[in-house]
A and B are shown apart, each in its own frame.
Chain A
Amino acid sequence: ETGVTQTPRHLVMGMTNKKSLKCEQHLGHNAMYWYKQSAKKPLELMFVYNFKEQTENNSVPSRFSPECPNSSHLFLHLHTLQPEDSALYLCASSDTGKDTQYFGPGTRLTVL
């Protein structure tokens, strides 16, 4: 449970605010992921980083900006979000080349 941590756990922001979500993994993995979880919808993969390099961007709007300074840390910078961006944002990590992913508890984001 503590292998992947995320902060903050809850975030309320206005549409003009700038905020950042943080993810840290203590599992020695080299791949990290951002997902968006909305009610009654499948998880949406947003970004993937492998050895600090962004390898996937699933057509995510530019108001979401990821950053991966090292293999243990992943950020999601948010600016000028829309109310429909309100969701649970999940971070995950995995061993390079492996398919099992380990998730953090998520950040519940509300955009007013």
Chain B
Amino acid sequence: AQSVAQPEDQVNVAEGNPLTVKCTYSVSGNPYLFWYVQYPNRGLQFLLKYITGDNLVKGSYGFEAEFNKSQTSFHLKKPSALVSDSALYFCAVRGNTLKGSGYALNFGKGTSLLVTP
């Protein structure tokens, strides 16, 4: 089964410093990987996705993610963190094809990012 793992429950970083939120994947075949962000009392917002092509994917709000096939990782990065980036971040992988069409998304358990002033 297609799955992702987020090894850190929480990541703390000072404002202005680079941030990394880790994700590793386990898939059969080519991976289709996603990052979502959830701000307090809000739903999940799509940040970016990797299908094929460049290993560095650029997304919303200045975030990017680096696909590394040899390490089966898809870490989320930002060069300079903002306090407003504090949120819950979810990595996901495209899973089974759903009946009728479409795909399931298999999510990690989330990583809480805290950016301090």
B103 touches A99 (CB 8 A): yes
Query: Taking A90-B43, A105-B41, A106-B43 as contacts, is the C-beta distance between A40 and B9 under 8 angstroms?
Result: yes
Residues of B within 8 A of A (CB): 9, 32, 34, 36, 41-46, 49, 90, 94, 98-110
Could you mark each residue 71-112 of chain A with 1 if its beta carbon is under 8 Å from any beta carbon of chain B, else 0? 000000000000000000010101011111111111000000
Query: Taking A103-B43, A103-B45, A105-B43 as contacts, is the C-beta distance between A51 and B100 under 8 angstroms?
Result: yes
Query: Taking A103-B44, A103-B45, A105-B43 as contacts, is the C-beta distance between A55 and B104 under 8 angstroms?
Result: no
Cβ of B36: which chain A residues have Cβ within 8 Å of it?
Answer: 103
Please name the 9 residue pairs, one residue from A and one from B, whose CB atoms are nearest each other, closest first.
A103-B43, A50-B100, A55-B99, A55-B100, A103-B44, A43-B107, A99-B103, A97-B101, A105-B43
Counting chain A residues whose Cβ lies within 8 A of the other chain, the interface size class is 20 to 34
